[in-house]
Structure 1
Amino acid sequence: MRDLQSLGERVYGFTLHGARAARRDGFDVSDSVEEVLRRAEEERALVVVAVPMRAVASVLDQVAEFAPSCWITDVVSVKQPIYDLVVERGMQSRYVGGHPMTGTEFSGWTASHEGLFASAAWAVTYDYARDNPGDEQWAELFTVVCRMAAVVGAEAVPVSVDRHDEAVARVSHLPHVIAEALALVGDRGGTLAQSLSAGSFRGATRVASTDPDLVRNMCETNAESLVPVLDEFIELLQHARTSLADDRPSLDSLTKSGHRAHLRMAARKGARRESVSPVEISSRPVMRVHPGAPGWERQLEQIESLGGRVEVF
């Protein structure tokens, strides 16, 4: 809302918590979901579902009741469970899933700020197009969602719901699990460990300050993808422990392979800031797509395989 309104877009919404604070800041926010959805239906607005996973089903039911013809997208951190709920309600022809890969460890209206989405990847799902490539209305919705992401400075990245959930299990949900466990281990060191903790510990545990209910919602609803990834992580830790417990302790394998992996991921994110002559490396190859054109869904699959971003025209 902050970014869209600052850029001249018309936006309004509903929230259970923080509506008064948002109105004080000059935003059109109501504490009546029925009022907002009826208004959206009258104006044929795009409905953005931005609630914890546990609330999605009830919100979709309210959308079905009060805004039965509105297009829908969301910003929830899992996609397969959302898509299942959408399909159950027969809403798939007016839904495009979304997940902006950005945020802070804080929650609520006062934690939001302009510029949050700048250069962030914004996952945009396209599963419906595989079975319905010629649906022009859905192609238009896909275009609208991609353009909304672009307006706030993000980069639309096409994804299928299953591949999205496996990827975020690795780079978003697993870090939350690690941060919680690491915070516990550090805390058990008592006041001395707390006094000696520095940047590496604070950085590694930053997301442990996220609302526990939000973390549970993310991780529990993506358990099918998260458990194998967690097993993979535990195996690496177990191997490191075995190597350190040897007569000649060694972390050679983990440190070297981990360092190489970090360099590969950093290269995809662009030049290092400390480089003498930084050269921007495009982290997400760009492909232009005309939604609804023949074969456009195959183009999206190709872009997904490259981890690229899509520009619509």
Structure 2
Amino acid sequence: MNPQTTPAAPPVTRPGPVCVLGLGLIGGCLLRDLVAAGVEAFGWNRSTPTVEAAAADGFDVSADLPAVLTRAARQDALVVLGVPFPALPAMLDALERYAPQVGFTDVTSVKGSVLSLVTDRGMADRFIGGHPMAGTADSGWEATTEGLFRGAVWVVATDNAPAAVESPRDAAWLRNWRRVVETATLVGAAPVPARARKHDKAVARISHLPHVMAETMAITADNGGALSLSLAASSFRDATRVAGTEPDLVRAMCENNREALVTALDEALALMTDARDALAAGGDLTDFTEAGHDARLRFEARAGRVKGGPTTRSLIRVLPGSDGWLEQLHYAESIGAQIGVI
């Protein structure tokens, strides 16, 4: 099939009440943006100081998880799991106990492991995986701000998507999927569909490998002593920015995407070994530097040189559950297209 593509922005519709569990950088920024957009949004965090800080800023938050989830069930809110991967099992158990019917999504950087957790608990029929490709090296409520997601890609998973509406469960899944797309669009992000395995292979290359490389470069520079660190300027600062991320978060994302990350590391190591061997043998790096430069230009053309800048990413409008809509999603996935819901 030949889906219609257009550069025009998709219409922005409201997802209804949203409940955010976890008020760290991603969850906290999402809560801020949703409230700023006029959405009824409320949240939970296990840390009392975080709850007090968010409440002092005027947000509807609580440290009482059962009460928050009971409210989410009563209001049929979309639940967003904004907690780190190790905390997900406990969150899923609480969700099943206190809000057994609500649709939910997550913001975790690995999708396959999360989908397995959800599927093992028999909750996949109301789960839509999500991953906003945004963040900073800082964490916690104090690092949150409005506008973090503006111009960023927000991956919306399509695993278990029904080809058509053949049961009430299909209808409920499609409604939840639409709400996730609407939430991402409302906060200024560009929803891009992807299945869990495809997503994990991709982020191993553009997110998890850069974390490993940043740690490597930071350690190598530090091994050079005080002079190396004193001479380091913007190129070093930019290349190692994500090494400032909380170590446990980096470890969790890398360890939960081992297979795909090992493949990406093997490719990166082969490239660096070739460059090393060329230098050691007195050769040149022409092919290496030109290939890297060309690859960077392709990235800039696709994603925009700066966040939110002009992009060549296509927009494909889909009607969830309509004839051929899965083929549209898979095509959009194959070309990294943004989607809008009709």
TM-score category by the smaller chain? over 0.9
Aligned equivalents of 2:63 and 2:171: distance in 1? 35
What is the deviation of 1:137? 1.6
1:1-313 pair list within 5 angstroms:
1-17=31-47, 18-129=50-161, 134=166, 135-246=170-281, 248-270=282-304, 282-313=311-342
Please say if residues 163 and 324 of structure 2, whose CA atoms lie closer than 8 Å, have aligned partners that are also in contact.
Answer: no
Aligned equivalents of 1:87 and 1:151: distance in 2? 28
What is the deviation of 1:253? 1.7
What is the deviation of 1:251? 1.4
| Closer/same/farther in 2, CA of residues 281 and 55 from structure 1, 3 Å limit | same
Aligned equivalents of 2:38 and 2:312: distance in 1? 29
1:276 matched to which residue of 2?
none
How many residues align? The count is 306
**Structure 1 unaligned regions, length at least 5:** 274-279
Please say if residues 133 and 296 of structure 1, whose CA atoms lie closer than 8 Å, have aligned partners that are also in contact.
Answer: no
Please say if residues 143 and 291 of structure 1, whose CA atoms lie closer than 8 Å, have aligned partners that are also in contact.
Answer: yes
TM-score, L = length of structure 2: 0.87
**More displaced stretch, 234-243 vs 261-270:** 261-270
What is the deviation of 1:130? 5.1
**Matched residue type, 2:177:** F
Aligned equivalents of 1:289 and 1:25: distance in 2? 38
1:17-64 CA distance string (max 9 Å, x none): 311110110011111211111111111111100111111111111100
Percent sequence identity over aligned pairs? 47
SS at 1:311 equivalent = strand
Aligned equivalents of 2:271 and 2:163: distance in 1? 40
SS at 2:243 equivalent = helix
What is the deviation of 1:131? 6.6
Aligned equivalents of 1:214 and 1:133: distance in 2? 38
1:111-160 CA distance string (max 9 Å, x none): 11100000111000111115776422211111111000011000110100
Structure with more contact order per residue of length (Cα contacts < 8 Å, sep ≥ 6):
2
**Structure 2 unaligned regions, length at least 5:** 1-30
What is the deviation of 1:283? 3.0
TM-score, L = length of structure 1: 0.95
Aligned equivalents of 2:267 and 2:305: distance in 1? 29
| Closer/same/farther in 2, CA of residues 239 and 133 from structure 1, 3 Å limit | farther
SS at 1:157 equivalent = strand
2:25 matched to which residue of 1?
none
Please say if residues 133 and 297 of structure 1, whose CA atoms lie closer than 8 Å, have aligned partners that are also in contact.
Answer: no
Please say if residues 163 and 325 of structure 2, whose CA atoms lie closer than 8 Å, have aligned partners that are also in contact.
Answer: no
